[in-house]
Structure 1
Amino acid sequence: MGDSARVAVFEDGQTIVGFLPFQLSSRGVAAPIGRKLNTRQAFIHQPGLEWSWSELLAETRLHVLELQDVVGAQGAGVRSLVSASSPMIDTATGWQRYLAAIGRHKSVRTILYKERKLHRDHGGDVDFGSGPAKDFVDLGRLAAWKSRQYRLSGWPDIFAQRETLALLRLLAEECGDSLRAVGSSLRIGGEVVATDLSLSTGTVFAGWFAAHNPNFACYSPGAIRTLRTVEAAFCCGVRCIDLSRGDEQYKNALTNDHCDVATGFVFRQSVHSRVYQARRWPKSAVTSYVLAHPGVRSLVRHSLRRVGEVREQCAMLVS
């Protein structure tokens, strides 16, 4: 993030009443701090505080603030933000009743079958663990596997930036009272085959980065690890598990609730913001069309994967 990261602090007299973290991308235009690493955004403020996005932007001298997933009512009534639904898991029913409910999905039954097969093939060598990230996640392997996954998918590899792993290491080593990093790993004979790094408070568990060893893909170790990580989160007593916005199949199977978010940007009237909107419109229109048509979205994903595979093969030839 470097020198572009900012946290605006708002005060009422001598009292701090709010924080707005952001990252400058160009003059007068900012994005969520951490960009692709950030799956939720909000203006963090004192309860009951009256405010508006235009006021915040004026005080921070911003013309535009891009938002990928602004929470709750903070996106209500803003025409430049589009409402979306983000999958959640409500833990109120308890693990056993929840598992029975999602067990009707074919994908969940397949995960449980492959988990049984894994135990049959490897006996007592299979082990799952979850807890403080510094003890239960292999960040080196997570970064390597996730980097390969990004490259093969055709998407930009955020793990190619050294700051990404540095941030994950910092979070894994620090353990605060209100926020903690949680890791989980599935091992066979002591070897990590699937691992993840998530974030948790006393009430919310938020899945973040996860990856698995492609050499064990026949067992779907990532899916098994995900299901057992969800079980561990239930046992920790959180009220909900945030799966983050996305249409991945496993999210459709695991979710039993949702939260409302909004995506887009907020702005204040200025020449800068009008120029930004004029430049942004073509890309926004194309993205909206792709997302609204599953067949086109599938074609785009397939094309990106092909690009990623070719890029990976070229890199192997060069090395």
Structure 2
Amino acid sequence: MSGFRGASRMSAAGLRRATGPEPGASAPRATIACIPFPIRASDGGAMTKSRSPSAPLTITVRSALDLSPEELAGWEAILADEPVYASPFFTPGYVRLVAQCVDGVMVGLIWENGALVGVFPYELEGPGKARPVGSVFCDYQAVIARRRVDWTVEGLLAGLGLEQWRFDHLLAVQTPFAPYIQRRDVSWSIDLSQGFAVYDTWLRDGKHRPVAETRRKLRMMERELGPVTFDAHVGDHDLLDGLLARKSAQWARSGWPGRFSTYWEHRLMHRLLDTQTPGFAGMLSVLRAAGRPLAMHIGMRSRAVWHYWTTVYDDGFARYSPGNVMLVEMIKAAPGLGLHEIDLGKEDFEYKRRLHTHVVPVVEGVLSTAAPSRSLVVPAEFGVS
């Protein structure tokens, strides 16, 4: 796809086809300040550049809800200068949203000569142990730092006072984590930076015709069911409750009971729906036929990226492929909303293979003060090294 952005991405060409589709009290206030943060020599990794050893780094720890306006502005400035962190999961909006719903959401602030040069959000899950913010809901993780800053994962743990941090969607370009990686994977994504028409042409030139197929389904819906409408975002909490109930039942049938059944999860989704800022917002999308919802999706966006998160559709209308029709409508709508990319997430499904333009390598593992695991799993269907 000539001219499409390639930083921190890899082509998915040749990948083998897959077979299958309350919080209590407030979090503690700031308790740690100016802990020496060891620097590392540059190893040529994608996220590091050589720097003078005369500029020591320090780290301070804050509750995510206690960050000052200046600290939040510094975080936003890093995001603006480092496109690799374009996902909404790297925004202060997402981290602070989760902090309103669960305890223990913290942020490590990395400083150099009084300037904020990096942030590391995490969620405490026990003494000395942490996980990604939002746990299973978090589809991207990283040390959000400027490229010129050298840092060590060992120094990160020491500065945060942690013994362990589990990760499952860490940006693979963060090479300091390499010794702790246990599995490599990819997240599927659609580059719309040149608009929908260019993307559609690229699909057709590659002999892929998912958009044409969904147009045929859409015409069939209109002919047999009545007028079809699509809303990229509606602030309807009743619709959201219906989506969550249907998705929870679907996951329970698939052997994953309990998802979307807890208070904090419902609170998270409803507060997400109410969050509408330029840098971070919830997006509840609906496809209707004759006024009846056939498919719904709840996701989120940053300034440039729409993250495809949780979708349901009415099983009684499965022959119209309403989920696929809605996704194509989202793709068509995204550029007009100022969004240049739709990230489809990590799980491997056929529709992602048919619609994606590139993949983002991600890794799983455990960062620990103990000796790193040397076992590495690469899913056979990817052939990612």
CA contact (8 A) 1:136 1:183 kept: no
1:22 aligns with 2:122: yes
Distance 1:16 1:293 in 2: 40
Once the two structures are overlaid, the 10-residue window that deviates more, 183-192 or 71-80, is 71-80
Corresponding residue of 1:127: 229
Corresponding residue of 2:73: none
Query: CA RMSD of the aligned region, Å?
Result: 2.8
Distance 2:345 2:242 in 1: 23
What's the CA shift string for 1:98-141, capped at 9, x where partnerless? Answer: 224335336555433222211110232x211113x526992111
1:179 aligns with 2:280: yes
Distance 1:151 1:185 in 2: 23
CA contact (8 A) 2:152 2:176 kept: no
1:71 aligns with 2:142: no
What's the CA shift string for 1:3-25, capped at 9, x where partnerless? Answer: 34333334446544432222233
1:162 aligns with 2:250: no
Once the two structures are overlaid, the 10-residue window that deviates more, 190-199 or 23-32, is 23-32
Match of 1:98 among 184, 196, 199: 199
What's the CA shift string for 1:42-100, capped at 9, x where partnerless? Answer: 12235532212111111112122111111252146612224433211111342123224
CA contact (8 A) 1:206 1:241 kept: yes
What's the CA shift string for 1:248-307, capped at 9, x where partnerless? Answer: 111001101222222222223xxxx35x96xxx9xx88xx48x4379xxxxxxxxxxxxx
1:48 aligns with 2:160: no
| Residues 101-112 of structure 1: pairs in structure 2 closer than 5 A | 101-103=202-204, 104-105=207-208, 108-112=211-215
Corresponding residue of 1:299: none
Corresponding residue of 2:14: none
Distance 1:76 1:14 in 2: 24
Q: Aligned partner of 2:226: which letter?
A: G
CA contact (8 A) 1:7 1:22 kept: yes
| Residues 158-237 of structure 1: pairs in structure 2 closer than 5 A | 158-237=259-338
Corresponding residue of 2:221: 118
Distance 1:186 1:137 in 2: 15
CA contact (8 A) 2:180 2:367 kept: yes
Other structure's SS at 1:158 match: coil
Distance 1:19 1:97 in 2: 36
Task: Point out where structure 2 has 5 or more consecutive residues left out of the alignment.
Answer: 1-100
Task: Point out where structure 1 has 5 or more consecutive residues left out of the alignment.
Answer: 295-319
Distance 1:97 1:48 in 2: 34
CA contact (8 A) 1:185 1:192 kept: yes
Corresponding residue of 2:187: 86
Corresponding residue of 1:256: 357
Query: Larger % of helix: which?
Result: 1
Q: Aligned partner of 2:162: which letter?
A: L
Once the two structures are overlaid, the 10-residue window that deviates more, 245-254 or 134-143, is 134-143
Other structure's SS at 2:318 match: helix
Distance 1:211 1:195 in 2: 6
Match of 1:142 among 243, 260, 264: 243
Corresponding residue of 2:106: 6
Distance 1:258 1:55 in 2: 30
Once the two structures are overlaid, the 10-residue window that deviates more, 88-97 or 100-109, is 100-109
What's the CA shift string for 1:217-253, capped at 9, x where partnerless? Answer: 2212111111111111132232322111121111001
Other structure's SS at 2:345 match: coil
CA contact (8 A) 1:129 1:136 kept: no
Could you tell me the TM-score, scaled by structure 1's length? 0.77
CA contact (8 A) 1:53 1:267 kept: no
Distance 1:4 1:230 in 2: 36
Corresponding residue of 2:13: none
Distance 1:177 1:99 in 2: 27
CA contact (8 A) 1:87 1:243 kept: yes
Compared CA separation, residues 137 and 13, structure 1 to 2 (3 A) = farther
CA contact (8 A) 2:260 2:266 kept: yes
Distance 1:28 1:218 in 2: 50
